[in-house]
Amino acid sequence: GQSLEQPSEVTAVEGAIVQINCTYQTSGFYGLSWYQQHDGGAPTFLSYNGLDGLEETGRFSSFLSRSDSYGYLLLQELQMKDSASYFCAVRGAYSGTYKYIFGTGTRLKVLA
Amino acid sequence: NAGVTQTPKFQVLKTGQSMTLQCAQDMNHNSMYWYRQDPGMGLRLIYYSASEGTTDKGEVPNGYNVSRLNKREFSLRLESAAPSQTSVYFCASSPGDGLSSGYGYTFGSGTRLTVV
């Protein structure tokens, strides 16, 4: 079966660095993505890792280790606007196509 | 603005009523999806359409039907609404769903549905 695990909640202060972990179990593996969702809003795409290593996009970085079935999202120089839920999503092979399964999300609270 | 448009944004139904949620994208994407989001459950895939003319079941298809009307539009129908279908429904699209695709999904703003 397929499953993803990520912490339910993380709290950090403005200006700090926070890491949100994601471990997964899936039928085949074709990529890990991260999404941000503010309360009442739609998920928005942040990053994609298809191969092992670190991908950097501004203050956000995402890491993947396929051998460990593990990835993380790193947020640097935290700002109040980063308070949101963050979802990891793993792309696996299901019924002959390749689709994402989403985790249950990590709620990030940034304190002043 | 380019993106995914969902209608309606809010809806209240009585048990047993039917309704169709509409979704349209103007990014020329091949693949479209319907997800539901419940508290503590993340996003769960209801149905998807890998390309125009094809649809397939996701994780939680029971009680729903879909139609890929053309490349732009993908609708979700509740034939006989039940309180368990109270949720936030998101439509999403992506350029493709093949192996080489590292594209993210673009989501609509959601439909908040309450079944009483």
CB contact under 8 A, A97 and B101: no
Whether the predicted pLDDT of B99 surpasses 60: no
- Which residues in chain A are closer than 8 Å to B103, comparing Cβ atoms? 48
Q: Tell me which chain A residues have a C-beta less than 8 angstroms from the C-beta of B1.
A: none
Predicted confidence at residue A97, as pLDDT, reads 63
Nearest-5° Cα angle at A60, A100 to B6: 45
Model pLDDT for residues B11-22, shown as the tens digit of each residue: 999 999 999 999
Please state the rounded mean pLDDT for residues A61-77. Answer: 96
Question: What does the pLDDT read at residue A96?
Answer: 60
Residue in chain A nearest B94 by alpha carbon = A99
Is 70 exceeded by the pLDDT of residue B30? Answer: yes
**H-run or E-run covering B20:** strand B19-25
| pLDDT category of residue B98 using cuts at 50, 70 and 90 | low
**Which of A5-9, A77-81, B49-53, B81-85 is predicted least confidently?**
B49-53
| Residue A20 and residue A27 in contact, taking contact as beta carbons nearer than 8 Å | no
pLDDT at B35 over 60: yes
Q: Please write down the HEC assignment for all residues of A20-69.
A: EEEEEECCCCCCEEEEEECCCCCCEEEEEECCCEEEEECCEEEEEECCCC
A90 pLDDT higher than 60: yes
Q: What is the pLDDT of residue A94?
A: 64
A44/B102 touch (CB, cutoff 8 Å), yes or no: no
Structure confidence by residue, pLDDT tens digits, A4-41: 999 999 999 999 999 999 999 887 888 899 999 999 99
